[in-house]
A and B are shown apart, each in its own frame.
Chain A
Amino acid sequence: MKILVFIKRVPDTGIPIRVKPDGSDIVREESLTYVTNPYDEYAVEEALRIREKLGEGEIVAASLGDDSARDVLKNALALGVDRAVLLRTENPDRVDGFATAKVLADFAFNEGFNLILTGKEAADMSDSQVPSYVASLLGIPQASYAIGLEVNPPSLVVKRETDYGVETLELIMPALITCEKGLNEPRLPTLRGIMAARKKEIEVVPAHAPASNHELLLLSPPPPRKQGRILDVPVEEAVRELIRLLKEEQGIL
Chain B
Amino acid sequence: MRYRIYIEVFGGSFKGASLEALGAALLLREKAGGEVELLVPEPLESEALEELRNYGADRVLVLKNPGLSPYTVEAHAEALSSLIEDGDFLLFAATKRGLELAPRVAAYKGVPMASKAVELKFEDGHLNYTKFLYGGKALGHFKLSAKPLIASVMPRTFEVPQASGKRSSVVEVEIEVKGTSQVKNLGLAEKEKGGVEIQEADVIFSGGRGMGGPEGFRLLQELADLVNEKGDLRAAVGASRSAVDSGWIDHSHQVGQTGKVVSPELYFAFGISGALQHIVGMRNSKVIVAVNRDPEAPIFRIADYGIVEDLFKVIPLLKEELKKVIG
Contact = CB atoms under 8 A, between A and B. Distances in A.
B259 interface: yes
B81 to A, nearest CB: 9
Interface stretch (B39-47, B53-61, B131-139): B131-139
Given A136-B103, A246-B287, A169 B113 contact: no
Nearest to A233: B307
A225 B306 CA distance: 14
A232 B182 CA distance: 61
Nearest to A18: B137
A105 to B, nearest CB: 9
Contact of B138 (A99, A167, A175, A221): A221
Given A17-B138, A157-B186, A165-B189, A239 B307 contact: yes
A221 to B, nearest CB: 7
Interface of A: 11, 13-19, 26, 38-39, 96-99, 101, 121, 123-133, 135-137, 140-145, 147, 157, 161-172, 175, 178, 180-182, 212-223, 225-226, 228-232, 235-236, 238-240, 242-243, 245-247, 250, 252-253
B22 to A, nearest CB: 18
A141 B182 contact: yes
Interface string B295-318: 100001111111111000110011
Contacts of A235: 307, 309, 313-314, 317
Interface string B209-249: 00000000000000000000001010000000000000000
Interface string B6-22: 00001100010000000
A175 B73 CA distance: 13
Nearest to A161: B252
Interface string B97-132: 101111111111001111110000000001010011
Contacts of B136: 222
A213 B112 contact: yes
Contact of B187 (A167, A180, A243): A167
Contacts of A165: 188-191
10 smallest A-B Cβ distances: which pairs? Answer: A136-B107, A13-B135, A132-B103, A213-B145, A214-B112, A98-B112, A168-B186, A127-B115, A165-B190, A239-B317
B137 A163 contact: no
Contact of B257 (A14, A16, A242): A14
Interface in B171-204: 180-191, 197, 203
B258 A181 contact: yes
Interface stretch (B25-33, B159-167, B276-284): B276-284
Given A97-B115, A228-B288, A230-B300, A141 B277 contact: no
Contact of A166 (B188, B257, B318, B321): B188
B95 interface: yes
B97 to A, nearest CB: 7
B68 interface: no
Given A127-B116, A175-B182, A225-B302, 8 more contacts: A18-B137, A131-B100, A132-B101, A141-B180, A163-B197, A214-B114, A238-B314, A253-B326
A126 B133 contact: yes
B307 A242 contact: yes
A163 B131 CA distance: 22
Q: How large is the interface on B (under 10, 10 to 19, 20 to 34, 35 or more residues)?
A: 35 or more
19 contacts: A14-B257, A14-B276, A98-B113, A123-B134, A125-B133, A135-B104, A136-B104, A145-B100, A162-B97, A169-B184, A181-B254, A212-B112, A214-B144, A214-B145, A215-B143, A222-B132, A228-B288, A230-B308, A242-B307
B84 interface: no
B305 A242 contact: yes
Given A129-B115, A214-B142, A219 B133 contact: yes
B188 A162 contact: yes
Contacts of B139: 219-223
A164 B188 contact: yes
Contact of B258 (A38, A97, A171, A218): A38
Nearest to A221: B138
A47 B260 CA distance: 25
A212 B106 CA distance: 13
Nearest to A130: B103
Contacts of B11: 164
Residue from B10, B141, B295 having most chain A Cβ neighbours under 10 A: B141
B146 interface: yes
A131 B295 CA distance: 43
Given A163-B197, A228-B288, A99 B300 contact: no
Contacts of A142: 73-74, 100, 104
A126 B185 CA distance: 28
B229 to A, nearest CB: 14
Contacts of B184: 169-171
Contact of B318 (A127, A136, A239): A239
B140 interface: yes
A225 B283 contact: yes
A213 B318 CA distance: 52
A16 to B, nearest CB: 7
B251 interface: yes
Given A123-B135, A140-B182, A228 B300 contact: yes
